[in-house]
Amino acid sequence: MMRFTPRAIDKALAKFAIVGYTHCMIITADSRRRVTLPKPAQPGDAFDLERSGNGQFLLTRLEKPVHRVALSRKDGFLVATSGRRITMAETRKLMDQFP
């Protein structure tokens, strides 16, 4: 059985930056600067990327929008439809807030 001294363990752990309750993981970028994220990341997930200095990055998963919007053409115009009707009073209120 190998025994490690506290100093040897400190040197080994000095290579990794541990933030909060996360696990240490080394992720390598390919030639096009893409990385593969481990589970539970799913295809289509959106992340906020923060640069925290010294070559460190922080990824935060963003919440997916609850409502889907369908885009279609109507009389030559691009129209966004959410499947929910909006009254003229709601439209006027929103337009009054618009700069």
Side chain identity, residue 81 = T
The pLDDT-based confidence of 99 (bands split at 50, 70, 90) is confident
* Contact in structure between 82 and 68 (CB atoms under 8 Å): yes
Lowest mean per-residue pLDDT among 6-10, 65-69, 79-83: 6-10
Is 18 contained in some domain? Answer: yes
Q: What is the pLDDT of residue 34?
A: 87
* Reported pTM: 0.42
Domain annotation covers residue 76: no
Domain containing 45 equals: 6-61
Residue 83 within any structural domain of the chain: no
Number of domains in the chain: 1
Cα separation, 22 vs 45, whole angstroms: 19
Residue 85, in any domain of the structure: no
- 13 close to 5: Cβ distance less than 8 angstroms: no
Q: Is residue 75 part of a domain?
A: no
**Residue 12, pLDDT score:** 55
- Is residue 67 in some structural domain? no
Question: Is 13 inside any structural domain?
Answer: yes
- The answer as to whether 95 is a domain residue is no
pLDDT tens digit sequence for 51-80: 887 888 888 889 887 778 889 999 999 998
